[in-house]
Structure 1
Amino acid sequence: MALVARTAAMGFMASERITRLDAKTIARVVGALQEQKLAARTPLDMAPLMRTDAGDLDPATAKRMEAVVGELLDALGQSPAPSSEWTTMREVLGDESLCRLVGVSDTSLRRYASNGRSTPQAVAERLHWLAMVVADLSGAYNAFGIRRWFERPRPQLGGKSPREALGDDWHVDSPAAERVRLLAAALSGAQPLAA
């Protein structure tokens, strides 16, 4: 599910509604990643998941597929894609919230999103970080809930909201960003920290 969520949050699934996690869905995800040149070997590596539902795989194949999906998740986590992420994050977070979270003006956001200007590296990194957090939150919240999640105070963040904890000029490798990321990941079951 994390692979589907990240692929969608990065804007590679063109707002498709996923209602089943089956072989057909995995094939669509792999196809979307291939279009983005992010999965050259993936169709071969993930062939069993594209033919058979995960629950029907033998234990050895399931373990191998888990490793392949883990490698692909890591690759996606390290692959900012601002040209597609702007659209998805604008849909989920809205322009006003997105401007505050990535630290740009509304005018700059529109220029970057339309490819009128190249997205600066620090902004692209923040945008991608947000896409990964949104992917983690998407299993527990709809778009409205995700927007509220960033604004609601959290005891795990010392009573601050995730947006407040990040501050104005934050970096994706900052301790505050790591705490917010872990908090979101806990909702997807990726981390043991209670959200």
Structure 2
Amino acid sequence: MDWSIFWTAFGAIGGAVGAIGGVTGIVALFQTREANQLMKDANDTAEEANRVAAESLKTAQTANQLAGHANQIGEQANLIAQRALTAGLDQTVYHWTAQYDAEGSVLRVVNDCGLDARDVHVIVHHEGEVVAEGHAALISAVGVLELDAPLMLDELRKDARGYGDGFYGTPRVKVSISVTWVSEFGVHRSLESEQGFGYTKRTKILS
């Protein structure tokens, strides 16, 4: 047997096998790189999807907040419109009177009409100083709110001393009476009246 021929053939086969292995390795290397690139692309895509989802969630939350603000504004607008309509329909006329009882040092404020008045506040000023005040949750038709007013009596006595002996006059104290109330239709009303009161019980119309 010619061994040189055998070894030559064996070497050729080995070379061929080595070449095939090299090619296979190169192919495997390219496939690995391609697989890695595909995985990277997939990760990038997933990150982008998460970012888009986060932005969408943020946009949805902002839209919900804007919708909530819009609802609040709509409710406030409806309330204002309702109040304006109520005020337009409220043509009721209230009459208030006041009488000072110097003996008891009491100022009586009267709801002198046929309509109820709610949340009534009365403040009496004399030369910028509060000399009497009072509040009532409800004053019915022709109802009375009595205010203790000793400071008014003090001012009345001061005015009386100013006349001196032998001079006849009519002492009185000038006050500003502020009345605020809520009408039967729920409309806030107010008035302020300048009046003078003396020792004689006289009814004053506040207007």
State the TM-score bracket (shorter-chain normalisation): under 0.3
TM-score with structure 2 length normalisation?
Answer: 0.19
Structure with a larger share of its residues in strand:
2
TM-score with structure 1 length normalisation?
Answer: 0.20
